[in-house]
Structure 1
Amino acid sequence: MAERRKKQHIRNRWKTKSSEGSEYFYRESNMKKRTTHYQSNAARILPEPVFGFLITVVLVLASVSVCFSQSPPEILKIDPPSWWVRSTMNPVRLLIRGRNLSEARVQPVGPGLRLVGPPKINAAGTYIFADVAISPNARAGKKQLKITTSGGSTLANFEILPALNPAGRFQGFSPDDVMYLAMIDRFSDGDRANNDPQQSRGIYDRKNKFYYHGGDLQGVIDRLPYLKELGITALWLTPWYDNYDHPNQIELKDDKPSSGFHGYNPQDFYGVEEHFGTLEKLQELVAAAHRLNIKIVQDQVVNHTGPYHPWVDDSPTPTWFNGTRQKHLKNVFQTWVLHDPRPVEELKRETLEGWFLDFLPDLNQHDREVSRYLVQNTLWWIGTTGLDGIRMDTWQYVPNDFWRDWNKALKREFPRFTVVGEVKDGDVVHTSYFQGGRARAGVDSGLDSLLDFPLFYSIRHAFAEGQALDEVPKTLSKDFLYSRSDILVTLLGGHDDGRFMSETGATLDGLKLANAFLLTTRGVPQLYYGDEIAMTGPDEPSTRQDFPGGFPGDKRNAFTVQGRTREENEIFNYIRRLNQVRASLEPLRRGELINLYASGQQYAYARKTKNQIAVVVINNDKKSQTIEFDVSKLGLINGMELDDRLIGIRPIKVHDGKLRVELPQRSAAILVRQ
């Protein structure tokens, strides 16, 4: 028994469990005993000269190992770098990255912090997981952790933040909002000093459509009054994570290196991209937006990292990723298997665990350390900036049981917060599967909202391509599949699709009608930057053009009336008017949606609350039309007169329980009782 204990002591191990089994990390110890053990076994089977040579090699290697282990510890990074008092996530788990961390001990310096349990260290001695509890009465301020090994000690910085003040922050978004999506790098350049930062020289070039163009957080701050004038109440910004600091030689565009200007390939989940600004500038942006009653929605990524993330070649746990750079599944995007009750398991694995485009490392959310890291990262961004909502990238490619736990942690800390998930698919059956509010395969993800791509495609078909308008109510007829259709984020365009005005058959009148529908139907309407001035762009690079006037040297400034063309002012003013009408009429935001007429290129519907009714009539035909439909079920009695709040057609009276509306070609009206 004593000998067994002696052998067991040679390997000191710690374990972390995951749903796919237990993974072990070893810390080597007692080199002298290990050498003796090897010696006794080798002597039985090897000739003496060979045995002697091997002993020499082993002793040399052991000496090198001991010298290496005695090198002083070095700390490169701590995630998260700060946390707040009285959080629902306490203790907070720190991921400490560095060198020479084998056998490390972690000790908080001074009051306010307390280590909970022994730290866990990976086999390479490059990562420590340490749970640190923050006293509820701890003083906010900079603190230190002492990291000690046999080679010495060093200090690592950590900050305790004050308890969070929710007033005017963490608000969530709702159908009362109009959301605007802006790609930070392509919207407005407010600080030329960060265009080509010292640490990432050579990936700024406005002539290169795949490099940084100079848009930044200061530029967004500068354009907040413009958004306020347009009627925007929520601003969704593409990811501001720190991306790689050099040309991307893995993802080639037009056979040339690209950059991470779009933000979706994180290099540091806790860093702000230096081309955009700093954490302090981001906090300034959120505060400035809130003063104008504009909410901020962060675009987050938890499915994958960028190809150059330090984890890829030195992961904190053996199962941090699904596979390795050398050996992994490739995502085949067969997303239908995710809602299939009889899925082909191989396809399901490839869809959930495969690497996007074969080079974006797929995070393994079934590894508990990965899961904890991602949950804390989400909470940290909300808590430190005060933002109000999240648009989650690639929602469907992440396991639902992770989303369940992630959402529970999120709502415990920020109960009013709202999340919209990206599930890019035109099928309502598939899309609705991912909304929370009901269990799917035994799991309720808790997801509030989804980007309404099924309706997006119907809108494009009808208002751009000129297909029958009744495709729109046909799509809406499947709303029963959602747990809540009123909170879905409806859209005409986005950064992954060609712009509306580049669709075959698209016209300015069609764009106006599409917005008239978008801003009066159910859901949370989302506009894409530049669509309010009818920008064009048929594919991914051109749909991400610079906003005219947002950059030094631009020939005109479309952020101003004087800098816009006649057509640009026409569509801008039309959308602004729609937003004004929407804001003034509760039914357009909160009312029940009631279909009244749908035939060919005409569509009429009502939005009804307890105290008010708005009737929307759309003529998508290229010639004027008279539309007559029954309104008796709305409680509108004969003789009642309704005024148009949009284009000013003459008042219309209810006659024989019906409304008879004459509309010019490709126009819409919003009728409200006087």
Structure 2
Amino acid sequence: MKNKLHYFIFLLLIAYCSSLTANAQTPTVEKIDPPNWWANMTVNPVRVLIRGKNLSGANVLSPMNSGLKTYNFRHSENGHYLFFDVEIVPNTKAGKYNFKVETRNGFVNAPFEISQKMPRQNRFQGYTPDDVIYFLMPDRFADGDQSNNDPPKSKGLYDRSKGRHYHGGDLQGVIDKLPYLKSLGVTAIWTTPVYDNNDQLDTKEVYEGVPATTGYHGYGAIDMYAVDEHLGTFAKLRELIDKAHALGLKVIQDQVANHTGPYHVWANDPPTPTWWNGTVENHVSNNWQKWTAMNPRATYQTQKRNIDGWFIDILPDFNQDDPEVEKYLIQNSIWWLEMNGFDAIRMDTLPHVPRTFWQKWGGAIKREYPNVNILGELYDGDPALISYFQTGRRGHDGIDTQIDTLYDFALFYSIRNAFAQGKNIREVSQMFAKDWLYPNPSVLTTFLGVHDMPRFMNEEGATVEGLKMAQTLIMTSRGTPLLYYGDELAMRGGSDPDNRRDFPGGFPSDTRNAFTNSGRTAEEKDVWNHLALLGKLRRELEPLRNGKSIDLLDEEQQMAYARVKENQAVLTIFNNDTNAANVQFDVSMIKQFSGNATLNDRLEKVKDVKIENGKIKFSMPARTAGIFTIK
């Protein structure tokens, strides 16, 4: 009897262990990228990536009569990833579906949705020199919803006393301040990325005296298909874009195709063996030698660290030459646009990604959204390098990147030198003289600063007068002007993160509110009113946006140019000297100025100026700019 009991227990144990083994081998689904797609898109089939367990050898069956076809399966060796194509028959009905992920050990359902496409009206518009862009970091702009300051998913990352922690700004805060942006004269908004970032203190990106940081800036994604919980939800993002569009404001999305954050699950468990350039344990760090991207003499060896290198030695670097990576990144960009109705893309770290990828990626964006334009970040002061990445011609490598516009960093440096540091303004003229390098200089994005450098007012020798002259230049010269939040207040700030201070009045405990006139200091009112007037003049005077540029005066500290459009002409004159200067030059080659006329300074800084026989001669006050039209 005792032996029979032991035998029975033995059989039960075998059955139990067999059950555990079978359950352990049953496929599981943890994540699906993308979670949805649309019928009648230019990307069809869409490549789907499932992350889970026990996916080796899995087949994916689509629902009967759904209009969806699945094929071209690829499995990771460890069974954690499954790629497959989903072909969507034209006019497939929108709705929720379940794919059956099946192995010999069982199956699991994987939800997938066919969504309704966004209405095209007032979406996917692109931006042009008719626009003025306002760049903000949501976390540092305004806290509109205190309930997400320290969310359960990622507690302990909120602390306004620490520059590299979350401060509470969010998408609701941006929504609340849309009327403020409208009043300033802004027509487009660019925010830093809204991707979900790490849920814990970052002990990999550390600085002296700062043993841990957070992903408040948005550039360290752990999920490229999710909104960070500190900022809000997808519904809130859509609300922001819809309400911005209702006010006539465009919205530009910040995207990153070069890297993820160090805490992404892929970092130590990539979907393919070549997903990254290297591994966490074995990779090269980026050496920032951007010029190698345009060097016709370069070899892969000399370009490797610039293209394959990991930023600050910790950010996993995508290998865009892997076809699965290429498809994933292209689809991800299109998904964000179609889900939310963004008008343009700002793409991060342009020269650190192969140009072959940009050509394919940009072409895919243009096929689906012909009007959406792409702003590329190339942080370098060499106009030859910047122009090499602008669409409109092929480089010596035979590639047209499809990148519409770039930041005019070359002009940025000359502006800082002249108007902040008081060096010769002629350097600005010399930089404009290199416009011939660009396929289309008229669409470059001009600016005085962004989040990656000390602010204008932090430069040695910077003054409010110099700031206002610099603002006058970008608001009257070719290109699309971009304002960094706080520029309208002459905000100070040194290196990161000091250049990312909280906007005064955007947070519950703030003692004053600079979003209102009464909450601004005298200096802030002066600069804000000046910038608002510049925006008004730019809207009213067509030549300032789309006119031909004609240089009329290039002295060491004086400069003048006209913008001419059909029968209108606008003249902008600068005296960057600390003393008044006698200004004299010929304007007779401009039809509107060829005879005798009186010019009125629309900034009201200079008295009326006479044109006599096509010539101008007057005394220009020190550190002053004027915008002149015929009275």
103, 109, 115: which one aligns with 1:161: 115
Secondary structure of the structure 1 residue equivalent to 2:511: coil
- What pairs with 1:97-112 in structure 2 (closer than 5 Å)? 97-112=51-66
Give distance in 1, aligned partners of 2:186 and 2:64: 47
Which residue in 2 is equivalent to 1:660?
617
Which residue in 1 is equivalent to 2:266?
311
| Contact residue 112 and residue 137 of structure 1 kept, 8 A | no
TM-score by length of 1: 0.89
70, 95, 103: which one aligns with 1:149: 103
Give distance in 1, aligned partners of 2:353 and 2:19: 40
572, 577, 602: which one aligns with 2:558: 602
Structure 2: where are the runs of 5+ without partners? 1-13
Q: Please tell me whether residue 543 in structure 1 is matched to residue 499 in structure 2.
A: yes
Give distance in 1, aligned partners of 2:596 and 2:183: 37
- What pairs with 1:30-69 in structure 2 (closer than 5 Å)? 67=21
601, 609, 620: which one aligns with 1:644: 601
Give distance in 1, aligned partners of 2:486 and 2:370: 33
Q: Which amino acid aligns with 2:238?
A: Q
Return the offset for 1:463.
0.3
261, 264, 273: which one aligns with 2:216: 261
Return the offset for 1:151.
2.0
Q: Please tell me whether residue 583 in structure 1 is matched to residue 542 in structure 2.
A: no
Q: Please tell me whether residue 122 in structure 1 is matched to residue 79 in structure 2.
A: no
Give distance in 1, aligned partners of 2:95 and 2:590: 60
Return the offset for 1:109.
2.4
Give distance in 2, aligned partners of 1:574 and 1:413: 40
Give distance in 2, aligned partners of 1:622 and 1:172: 41
Residues 585 and 110 of structure 1, relative CA distance in 2, 3 Å threshold:
farther
Secondary structure of the structure 1 residue equivalent to 2:134: strand
Which residue in 2 is equivalent to 1:336?
291
Return the offset for 1:90.
1.2
Which residue in 1 is equivalent to 2:412?
456
Q: Please tell me whether residue 354 in structure 1 is matched to residue 309 in structure 2.
A: yes
Return the offset for 1:651.
3.1
Measured against aligned partners, the alpha-carbon deviations of 1:382-401 in whole angstroms (never above 9, x if no partner) come to 11100111111100000001
Which residue in 2 is equivalent to 1:235?
189
Residues 406 and 66 of structure 1, relative CA distance in 2, 3 Å threshold:
farther
Give distance in 1, aligned partners of 2:217 and 2:269: 25
296, 321, 344: which one aligns with 2:276: 321
Give distance in 2, aligned partners of 1:318 and 1:664: 65
| Contact residue 644 and residue 672 of structure 1 kept, 8 A | yes
462, 482, 488: which one aligns with 1:526: 482
Return the offset for 1:435.
1.2
Q: Please tell me whether residue 569 in structure 1 is matched to residue 516 in structure 2.
A: no
Q: Which amino acid aligns with 1:365?
A: Q
Q: Which amino acid aligns with 1:533?
A: L
Secondary structure of the structure 1 residue equivalent to 2:361: helix
Measured against aligned partners, the alpha-carbon deviations of 1:627-674 in whole angstroms (never above 9, x if no partner) come to 111111111232223222122633333212112243222111111124
Bigger Cα Rg: 1
Secondary structure of the structure 1 residue equivalent to 2:221: coil
Measured against aligned partners, the alpha-carbon deviations of 1:476-499 in whole angstroms (never above 9, x if no partner) come to 111111111011101101100000
466, 490, 499: which one aligns with 1:510: 466
Secondary structure of the structure 1 residue equivalent to 2:441: coil
Which residue in 1 is equivalent to 2:570?
614
Return the offset for 1:138.
2.0
Q: Please tell me whether residue 407 in structure 1 is matched to residue 365 in structure 2.
A: no
Return the offset for 1:69.
8.5
Q: Please tell me whether residue 172 in structure 1 is matched to residue 126 in structure 2.
A: yes
Give the root-mean-square deviation of aligned CA atoms: 1.7
| Contact residue 509 and residue 667 of structure 1 kept, 8 A | yes
Measured against aligned partners, the alpha-carbon deviations of 1:491-529 in whole angstroms (never above 9, x if no partner) come to 101100000001000001111100001100110100100
Return the offset for 1:344.
4.9
Give distance in 1, aligned partners of 2:123 and 2:102: 40
Between stretches 107-116 and 580-589, larger displacement belongs to 107-116
| Contact residue 581 and residue 646 of structure 1 kept, 8 A | no
Which residue in 2 is equivalent to 1:672?
629
Measured against aligned partners, the alpha-carbon deviations of 1:127-155 in whole angstroms (never above 9, x if no partner) come to 11111122322222222211111222111
Between stretches 586-595 and 154-163, larger displacement belongs to 154-163
Return the offset for 1:414.
0.1
- What pairs with 1:122-141 in structure 2 (closer than 5 Å)? 122-141=76-95
Give distance in 1, aligned partners of 2:162 and 2:95: 43
190, 205, 212: which one aligns with 1:251: 205
Give distance in 2, aligned partners of 1:113 and 1:189: 44
Which residue in 2 is equivalent to 1:57?
none
Q: Please tell me whether residue 485 in structure 1 is matched to residue 485 in structure 2.
A: no
Q: Which amino acid aligns with 2:29?
A: I
Between stretches 455-464 and 108-117, larger displacement belongs to 108-117
TM-score by length of 2: 0.95
How many residue pairs get matched?
613
| Contact residue 117 and residue 338 of structure 2 kept, 8 A | no
Secondary structure of the structure 1 residue equivalent to 2:374: strand
| Contact residue 59 and residue 73 of structure 2 kept, 8 A | yes
Return the offset for 1:370.
0.2
Return the offset for 1:230.
0.4
Return the offset for 1:433.
1.4
Which residue in 2 is equivalent to 1:472?
428
Give distance in 2, aligned partners of 1:324 and 1:555: 48
Percentage identity across paired residues of the two chains: 48
| Contact residue 243 and residue 263 of structure 1 kept, 8 A | yes
Return the offset for 1:113.
3.9
Return the offset for 1:531.
1.1
Secondary structure of the structure 1 residue equivalent to 2:271: coil
Secondary structure of the structure 1 residue equivalent to 2:339: helix
Which residue in 2 is equivalent to 1:16?
none
Measured against aligned partners, the alpha-carbon deviations of 1:17-65 in whole angstroms (never above 9, x if no partner) come to xxxxxxxxxxxxxxxxxxxxxxxxxxxxxxxxxxxxxxxxxxx9xx999
Q: Which amino acid aligns with 1:179?
A: I
| Contact residue 113 and residue 132 of structure 1 kept, 8 A | no
Give distance in 2, aligned partners of 1:585 and 1:65: 77
Secondary structure of the structure 1 residue equivalent to 2:483: strand
Residues 257 and 123 of structure 1, relative CA distance in 2, 3 Å threshold:
same
| Contact residue 69 and residue 88 of structure 2 kept, 8 A | no
| Contact residue 240 and residue 263 of structure 1 kept, 8 A | yes
